Amino acid sequence: MMRTAAKKIYIIVIFIFLYAPIATLMVLSFNASRTRAKWGGLTLKWYASLFDNREIMQALWNTLFIAFVSSITAVIIGTAACIAINHMGKRKRAVIMGITNIPMLNADIVTGISLMLLFISLGLKFGLGTILLAHITFNIPYVILCVMPRMRQLNPSTYEAALDLGASPVYAFFKVIFPDILPGVLSGFLMAFTMSLDDFIITHFTKGAGVDTLSTKIYTEVKKGIKPEMYALSTIIFVTVLLLLFLVNKAPKEKP
Amino acid sequence: MKNNRIFSGRQPSGRFMPGKLLSSPYIVWAAIFIVIPLGMVFYYGLTDKTGAFTMENVISIMSAEHAKALWISLGLSFVSTLICFFLAYPLAMILANMNVSQHSFIVLIFILPMWMNFLLRTLAWQTLLEKTGVLNSILSFLHLPALNIINTPYAIILGMVYNFLPFMVLPIYNCLVKIDPNVINAAKDLGANSVQTFFKITLPLSVPGIISGITMVFIPALTTFVISKLLGGSKILLIGNVIEEEFTQAGNWHLGSGLSIVLMIFILINMAASAIFDKDGEGSFL
């Protein structure tokens, strides 16, 4: 009895630690005072003025656009790569997987500056495009990491059987292989989207002047003080995701 | 049949062989955006402004200012990694023993905070830790002494532990769930007590997860420049801050790249360790 109680308390303490800042931000989004140091009473005005703040709305749009396009691109390139890697020789696969691990294990700051040096020497104009290229680069490994295990569990005979029965390779892929790896593809997409959304460091080095994502916008606001609308926006995003996850889990499962 | 070339259909032997075409976009991408950029860091780090070879940028890590920053970074990230490990291991054990049917649920709980911006979450600790902040209000209500750790190394450690704890919990958890319960039962049948079972069975079998967790906490902690800026009151310079300033303010890419090469040496040591201890990628993050 004592031990289960102790375990429960331990889990609760860790979760308070992990979620206390999030609760703090949510409370601050209802704070009538402009500074986070004082509590000025309850208000909803930041939620209203948020939608009139063009800069924040532009940053939100940039963030979502980059997260969506970069994770879709990463899913396509990554899944295609997985199909091929799965059938490579041991040596070749080890080399490719080693290179894939570099962006995951390397420090974000090194990845960021290395891409910045590349873009400068290629003479690219720093802006949404360069951020997008950088995000696709660090997202592909997450997709490969999610899809690869599924790929290795596949039974190649089912694909061959489909071919024997006269299916074209593309048709056989989408009818036989794709449904089996779909969970991996979806979690890869979700993971890539989350990582892109939460990234600051790599964006910081690859963005151009005047182009901001939410992260870089917040970073420039740190010295002046964060606008309360930012708290309101992140509360909305967080609650939306929470509700979506809840709905997905509550959705009636397919009949067996 | 153009499509046949993409998946290259079946070889004469009847073996299923997808075409090389499918991997080529990724191989090209990885070459341009992973391999070449790293090469450029080495090029800049090992040359001076005239393009002549020099070791000066790398050696400048020995200068008093840079050595101090590296030393503080190593110290803080070492302590953070240690704290993460001791917090995460019991948590991973409890979670692994809970028999939660949905493995993805556990992962989700730790990924979910990332949907609130990392900078905002870290900044929120300012509100919690300030002299008149939430934590101190609670402490004074309980008649306990106030905690003044904001803008000190302790606040940076707290920020590191807070941000990177999930990266320690998940690999260890993933390793622990895979342990066959029969192995543990066998140990108990043979008369081992729970302490012996832990040190002889559970702990050794979770080494891949531990190594992977250490890598995933230590590297970002060692190289961060954001946490120290937000919670350290910009008085404490970490090696990440030095490199960031070389690139964004001082504009000396050669020096910044040289110092990055030093960082990469630590990263390589870590990668080598995980390659040795985690051959099958068992301690993966997901």
B128: number of Cβ within 10 Å: 18
Q: What is the pLDDT, as a whole number, of residue B87?
A: 95
Q: What are phi and psi of B47, to 5 degrees?
A: -125, 165
Q: Do residues B215 and B81 lie in contact, with contact meaning Cβ atoms separated by under 8 Å?
A: no
3-state SS, one letter per residue, for B104-157: HHHHHHHHHHHHCCHHHHHHHHHHHHCCCCHHHHHHHHCCCCCCCCCCCHHHHH
Which fold, B58-277? MetI-like fold (1.10.3720)
Which amino acid is located at B108 in the chain?
Answer: L
Overall pTM > 0.90: no
CATH number of the domain that residue A159 is part of: 1.10.3720.10
Q: Do B18 and A245 touch (CB under 8 A)?
A: no
Q: Is residue A153 part of a domain?
A: yes
What is the rounded CA–CA span in Å between residue A198 and residue B181?
A: 37
CA distance A193 to B181: 36
| pLDDT, position B2 | 40
- Enumerate residue ranges in chain A where pLDDT < 50: 254-256
Q: Is A163 in contact with A96 (CB distance < 8 Å)?
A: no
DSSP characters over B26-44: HHHHHIIIIIHHHHHHHHH
Enumerate the domain spans of chain B: 20-54, 58-277
DSSP one-letter code for A52: T
DSSP characters for B180-222? -HHHHHHHHHTT--HHHHIIIIIHHHTHHHHHHHHHHHHHHHH
**Chain B residues inside the 8 Å CB shell of A111:** 37
Taking an 8 Å cut-off on Cβ atoms, the answer to whether B117 and A215 are in contact is: yes
Domain for residue A74, yes or no? yes
**A251, part of any domain:** no
Rounded CA-CA distance B274/B171 in Å is 12
Q: How far apart are CA A44 and CA A243, in angstroms?
A: 20
pLDDT of the residue at A255: 41
**Min Cα–Cα distance to chain A from B243, Å:** 8
Structure tokens at B76: 């803080």
Determine whether the interchain pair A11/B130 forms a contact, defined as Cβ–Cβ distance below 8 Å: no
The pLDDT value recorded for residue B32 is: 94
Q: Do A187 and B90 touch (CB under 8 A)?
A: no
Return the number of other C-beta atoms located less than 10 Å from residue A95's C-beta: 12
Residue A80 domain-assigned (yes or no): yes
d(CA B20, CA A83): 10
Between the two ends of chain B, the Cα-to-Cα distance in Å is: 39
Rounded Cα gap, residues A253 and A23, in angstroms: 32
Asked if B165's CB is within 8 angstroms of A234's CB, the reply is: no
In sequence order, which residues have a C-beta less than 8 Å from that of residue A238 and are 6 or more positions away? A22, A26, B115, B116
Whole-angstrom distance, CA of residue B283 vs CA of residue B167: 11
Which residue does chain A place closest to B231, by CA atoms? A222
Residue A41 counted as domain residue: no
Residue in A78, A115, A145 closest to B284 by CB: A145
Q: State which residues form the domain around A191.
A: 54-226
**For residue B276, what are the contacts with CB-CB under 8 A and spacing of at least 6?**
none
How confident is the prediction along chain B (286 residues), in pLDDT tens digits per residue?
344 444 444 444 334 445 567 888 899 999 999 999 999 999 999 998 888 888 888 888 888 889 999 999 999 999 999 999 999 999 999 888 876 666 777 778 888 888 888 899 998 998 888 877 788 888 888 888 888 888 889 999 999 999 999 999 989 998 898 888 898 889 889 988 889 999 988 999 998 899 889 988 999 999 999 999 989 877 889 999 999 988 988 888 899 999 999 999 988 888 787 777 766 665 566 6
Q: Report the gap between the CA of B118 and the closest CA in chain A (Å).
A: 6
- How many structural domains are present in chain A? 1
Do residue B286 and residue A101 have CB atoms under 8 angstroms apart? Answer: no
Q: Considering CB atoms only, which of B117, B127, B260 is closest to A28?
A: B127
Judge contact between B104 and B215, C-beta under 8 A.
no
For A197, other C-beta atoms within 10 Å of its C-beta total 24
CB atoms B114 and A170 under 8 Å: no
Q: Evaluate whether B223 touches B147 at the Cβ level (below 8 Å).
A: no
pLDDT at B81: 96
Q: What angle do CA B54, B258, A107 make, to 5 degrees?
A: 155
Closest CA to A115 of B41, B27, B220: B41
Any domain includes A22: no
